[in-house]
Chain A
Amino acid sequence: MSDQGTKLNPRRSFIATAGAGVAGLGFTVIAPGLHLMAVAGDANAANAATDARKAGTAASPTVRWGLLIDANKCAPGCTKCIDACHTENGVSEKLSDPRQNSQWIRKIELVDRRNGRVTQLPMMCQHCANPPCVDVCPTGASMKRADGIVLVDRHTCIGCRYCMMACPYKARSFVHTPLHDQNPEVPRGQGCVESCTLCVHRVDKGQQPACVESCPNGAMTFGDLLDPASAIAQRIASVPTTQVRADLRLDQGVRYQGI
């Protein structure tokens, strides 16, 4: 709430004062039992780094990492999240057939033909609770970690690409050529399928995924969906959000607002 608003409207100052008492809870009391959730503001500030997991401890099922993407804040033509993802994960190959390039995250433009409304939709692995890629994997390489992050174990991946066919979001890519410029923390190589890891190497250190950190508009919120105090859980509880193809009942960890 701006200072100017407070000066002009005594009612607003009352709301601000009433809100101050519960400021720690992140909402303002409008009337008894009626709360105005703090939604606006610098969304990336709400993305405070999560705690790094202690060395030697396993990922816990009491945590479920998720992502909330506000399509209204996603600027047309901006590729900052894709650039950051590629830099972080060392995706550097440019093949003669661009359809064969790895795509960890891509932007889809949805156009409503009736009224011309354009929606930006960043799309990546949706980190499903019931992932079809894990169901179909013949070697058990496609797996879901205890904290909900869906990964490919390249040590056992045979590159059959069954998971690529099973994924409703086309989130997975196959690496077609030998690679040399991998990030030491993100091993990847020819003959294996790969997809967004939710920057698992960063998350385990208590950092945000690269795309979330890079978004200039704060369109992405990362956090623990199971922790009611987390910024992402509070947003999901307060604003309408959707899962893409929720009818498939995969319970995706990536949710969208404004699509």
Chain B
Amino acid sequence: MKLLRILVALFAAFIAVSPAPTLAGDGGRTATPVIAIANPGHCVAPVEEMRRNHMEMLKHQRDRSLRQGIRGEPTSLNACIECHASKKTGSVLGSNDNFCQSCHAYVAVKLDCFECHQPKAGFKAAGVKP
């Protein structure tokens, strides 16, 4: 019985001195997405809402813009790109350090917007002669 008490006490002491477990996202050995925002604090909604709902916001806005012709809404993909494009490459895509690609590569969610939309800020298209 005495031996058991000693064992319990030793176990309790071991628990007390062992370090707290590392949470994912605290850095260290766990990979995290790079979220570099050059101009923080100017977004159309708080960070928590944007992280969870940006796809819904863009989806509803796209339908209103295209089908009803409503322009100048606060949520717009072009406005996202103008603010979030990397200062180095001018794009939200292209490397895992760039805003959109960073998180989407991390969570392995396919990013379809830029099959059609222009990912570079301030891009001016040049056509060709027929």
Tell me the A residues contacting B by CB distance below 8 Å.
53-59, 79, 82-83, 85-94, 106, 143, 145-147, 151, 153-155, 178-179, 181-192, 200, 204-205
Interface residues of B in 24-57 (CB under 8 A from A): none
User: In the bound complex, what is the Cα–Cα distance between A153 and B130 (angstroms)?
Assistant: 25
Chain A residue with Cβ nearest B81: A184
* Majority SS at the chain A contact face: loop
CA distance A161 to B71 in the complex (A): 29
Number of interface residues of B (CB under 8 A): 26
**Chain B residues within 8 Å of A205, by CB:** 71
* Chain A residue nearest to B116 in the complex (CB): A189
Interface centre among B66, B69, B73 (most CB of A within 10 A): B69
Q: Which residues of B contact A56 (CB under 8 A)?
A: 70-73
Residues of B within 8 A of A (CB): 62-64, 66-73, 78, 81, 115-118, 120, 123-130
For A155, what are the chain B residues with a Cβ–Cβ distance below 8 Å?
62-63, 66
Q: Is the CB of B116 within 8 A of A154?
A: yes
- A/B interface sample: 17 pairs, CB < 8 A: A56-B73, A58-B68, A58-B70, A79-B130, A83-B129, A87-B125, A91-B127, A145-B69, A146-B69, A155-B66, A179-B116, A182-B116, A182-B117, A182-B123, A183-B118, A184-B81, A205-B71
The residue of chain A having its C-beta at the shortest distance from the C-beta of B122 within the complex is A184
Residues of chain B within 8 A (CB-CB) of A91 are 127-128
Beta-carbon contact of A79 and B125 below 8 Å: no
A90, B69: Cβ atoms under 8 Å?
Answer: no
Do the beta carbons of A92 and B68 come within 8 Å of each other? Answer: no
Task: List residues of chain A with CB within 8 A of the CB of B130.
Answer: 79, 82-83, 86, 106
Residues of A within 8 A of B129 (CB): 79, 82-83, 86
